[in-house]
Amino acid sequence: MRMSEGVEWGLHCCVTLAWLDGEGPVSTARLAASLDLPAAYLNKRLQALVRAGILSSTPGARGGFRLARSPERITLMDVVAAIEGTDDAFRCAEIRRQGAGADAPRREFARPCGIATAMSRAELAWRRELAAQTVADLMTGVPASAADRTRRWFAAERTQG
């Protein structure tokens, strides 16, 4: 399974916004600069997070983004679903009913294909694992120096801008 880089970007932005909690909305331009990302593309990912209720946005010159709920209430699965969508990664096309299986009796297909079943179990385990981890969990795994460095960078940006 391959996810777009937008998932990584979205998660980093959520962690950054959590570290900056209470400092007001953060613009796309500032978030993009802090991570050396293209602002236009990042904005599309941030808007997807707003639509999912993960971020809130404030329009205007002093506007930007902030977390819409606490980091403990935002799961990695929330972010993945907002960026990538909720469709299953594996889609069984029932090819076993084609070719050599085209003439097989219907009763042979009464149960789901073993491949589809295995893939579904694996995806469910993946989704459960992502749903069990939050942005707050990510924050605890990061050295305090990284959070401090990010806060200092944004403080310096604010005074220069």
Q: How confident is the model at residue 12 (pLDDT cuts 50, 70, 90)?
A: very high
Q: Which of 10, 30, 7, 29 is nearest to 20 (CA)?
A: 30
In the block, tokens 């990538």 appear at 84
pTM beyond cutoff 0.85: yes
Predicted pLDDT of residue 30: 95
SS3 25: coil
Residue 43: Cβ-neighbour burial (10 angstroms; 0-12, 13-18, 19+)? middle
Q: What is the pLDDT of residues 108-136, one digit of tens each?
A: 888 888 999 999 999 999 999 999 999 99
Q: Which residues, in sequence order, are CB contacts of 37 under 8 Å at separation 6+?
A: 9, 31
Q: Give the up-direction half-sphere exposure of residue 62: CA atoms within 13 A in the CB hemisphere.
A: 2
SS3 129: helix
Predicted pLDDT of residue 77: 98
| 94 conformational bin, left if phi > 0, alpha if psi -120 to 50, beta if neither | left
Predicted pLDDT of residue 95: 84
Q: What is the pLDDT of residues 40-96, one digit of tens each?
A: 999 999 999 999 999 999 998 889 999 999 999 999 999 999 999 998 888 888 888
Q: Which of 50, 37, 48 is nearest to 84 (CA)?
A: 48
Q: How confident is the model at residue 157 (pLDDT cuts 50, 70, 90)?
A: confident
Is residue 78 within 8 Å of 54, Cβ to Cβ? yes
Stretch 90-103: mean pLDDT? 87
Domains annotated on the chain, with CATH: 5-85+134-160 (1.10.10.10)
Stretch 97-103: mean pLDDT? 88
Predicted pLDDT of residue 161: 55
Which residue type is seen at 79?
A: V
